[in-house]
Amino acid sequence: MFVFLDFEASSLAKDSYPIEVGWVFEDGRSGGMLIRPAPEWSDWDMRAQAVHQIDRATLLRDGTPHGAVAAHLVEMMEGHALFASAPSWDGKWLSVLLRTAGLPRHSLRLRDTDLACRETAGAILGPVLPADALEAEIDAILKAVDEARTTVPPAHRALADAEGERDRWLQVRDEAQKRIHSLSPEGRVRS
């Protein structure tokens, strides 16, 4: 099953660490946690705080210990396909969380949400479109969905942004299913 993840972080610096995680399974099950910083995590950027509106005192008071968050994520998500809109950043913070908790950093791996969208549209359209037309049709679907979503800025809260990624994937899936109905039996798009 696909799972869409997002992290908020202390900053975008080299020593940054995750402060919040949110996830949404493709079936809509979701959750999120504030992450209490490990003692050695000291990086903090007030500009990042201004964006996500989470202060360090709140994390220390209300956050779940980082090790418990890491263990929960591994238990819940192992064996699922994990996706994020910025897998290099979110993957960095996931890796920091796992390593600091003493877990292998590759216990969970993130891929780009675009891959989930492409795989899903391809699975829907592949049986009815010739291979030479499939990629162009997938590109057209992604472009149409993304143009329709330009007015939806990220919330910069982990659960809301993970829900946004799932919503994008659902829109791509729904658009691919609609296009199936516009195909003739020969597998060509009707004009």
Residue 22 class from Cβ within 10 Å (0-12 exposed, 13-18 middle, 19+ buried)? buried
Q: Do both 101 and 128 map to the same domain?
A: no
Tell me, yes or no, whether 187 lies in a domain: no
pTM over 0.75: yes
Helix runs in the chain, H state only = 46-52, 56-62, 66-77, 87-100, 113-125, 131-148, 158-180
| Average pLDDT of every residue of the chain | 92
pLDDT level of residue 18 (50, 70, 90 thresholds): very high
Q: Do both 50 and 79 map to the same domain?
A: yes
Whether the pLDDT of residue 180 is over 70: the answer is yes
Tell me, yes or no, whether 189 lies in a domain: no
Q: How far apart are the first and last CA of the chain?
A: 35
* The pair of three-digit structure tokens given for residue 93, joined into one six-digit string: 């913070």
Q: Do both 8 and 50 map to the same domain?
A: yes
Instruction: Single out the residue in 111, 136, 153 at which a domain terminates.
Output: 111
Q: What is the pLDDT of residues 33-54, one digit of tens each?
A: 999 999 999 999 999 999 999 9
Q: Do both 121 and 106 map to the same domain?
A: no
Distance CA 178, CA 5 (A): 27
Residue 24: domain span: 2-111
Q: What is the pLDDT of residues 49-79, one digit of tens each?
A: 999 999 999 999 999 999 999 999 999 999 9
Distance CA 190, CA 128 (A): 13
Q: Do both 11 and 51 map to the same domain?
A: yes
Q: Do both 94 and 49 map to the same domain?
A: yes
Closest CA to 18 of 64, 85, 50: 64
Q: Do both 66 and 86 map to the same domain?
A: yes
